[in-house]
Every structure is written in C-alpha cells, then in structure tokens.
Amino acid sequence: MINVQAPDSILFSQPGVGKVERTITPTKPGRVKFKATYWPARLCDHDSQVTLVPDDQVTVVGRHGITLLVVPAGYISPGNLPEDEAGVQEASESQSLGFTQKLSSVFSKLWG
C-alpha cells in the first residue's frame, strides 16, 4: 500500500499582516489575529531570539497545518525595499534570495 500525503507546510506567495494576541517565543507557539480570525502561530525562524508580545505586528509568511508561520514586522522580505535608488534592485534581489534560502533552511530543519 502506498501512503501519499500532501505536505503540511506551505509558504504564502503574498505574506500578510497579523497581530499577536498571545506571546510567541522560539520555543512556544502563541496566537495571532489574521484576516479577522484567530490562529495558532509560531515563529518561522526557530533560530531567532525574538519574543513577540500581544499587540506586536507580524508578517504571516506561511502555515504548517493550521498553525501560521510568522516573522516580526519589518523582517527583511522580498520586495519591501524601494527600487528607484542606485544599487537597491541588486540588494533587493540578494535579500530576496537570502530570505527564500533562510525559509527553505528552516523548513528543511523542521520537516525535512
């Protein structure tokens, strides 16, 4: 018998904004309000030493099952820099690649 399961973790093509309702630490999931609904949430990057407290804004970058994967608001993500300054496009592309590689690394550590 073949057991085929869909992956539990996905990254959103368009990250969204959420608000912390219950404290989130690298070792303890919390809760966020996202799109008018409350969801369990945890940090996408378990290596970070950040603690998110109620009322902090977060960027929702994906989900694992029904648990949202979040990063602190302002975390460098693709496309959040202006592209009209000299060298910024190159920096943005480099940071986008770094962001993608970091998230891929996190996923492979957790569920690889």
Mean pLDDT of 26-43: 97
Share above pLDDT 70 across residues of the chain, in percent, rounded to a whole number: 61
Q: The domain containing residue 99 runs over which residues?
A: 9-111
CATH number for the domain including 55?
A: 2.40.50.140
- Residue 17 pLDDT greater than 50, yes or no: yes
**94, part of any domain:** yes
Position with higher pLDDT, 92 vs 43:
43
**67, part of any domain:** yes
**3, part of any domain:** no
Structure confidence at residue 86 (pLDDT): 42
**46, part of any domain:** yes
**2, part of any domain:** no
Query: Which residue reads 């569920």 in tokens?
Result: 111
Mean pLDDT of 21-47: 95
- Residue 96 pLDDT greater than 60, yes or no: no
Structure confidence at residue 108 (pLDDT): 60
Total domain count, the chain: 1
- Residue 31 pLDDT greater than 90, yes or no: yes
Structure confidence at residue 71 (pLDDT): 95
**99, part of any domain:** yes
**4, part of any domain:** no
Number of H helices, E strands in the chain: 1, 5
* Separation between Cα atoms, residue 17 and residue 19, nearest integer Å: 7
pLDDT digits (tens, 9 = 90+) for 54-87: 999 999 999 999 999 999 998 854 444 444 444 4
Task: State the number of CA atoms in the 13 A half-sphere of 35 facing the CB.
Answer: 5
Structure confidence at residue 98 (pLDDT): 56
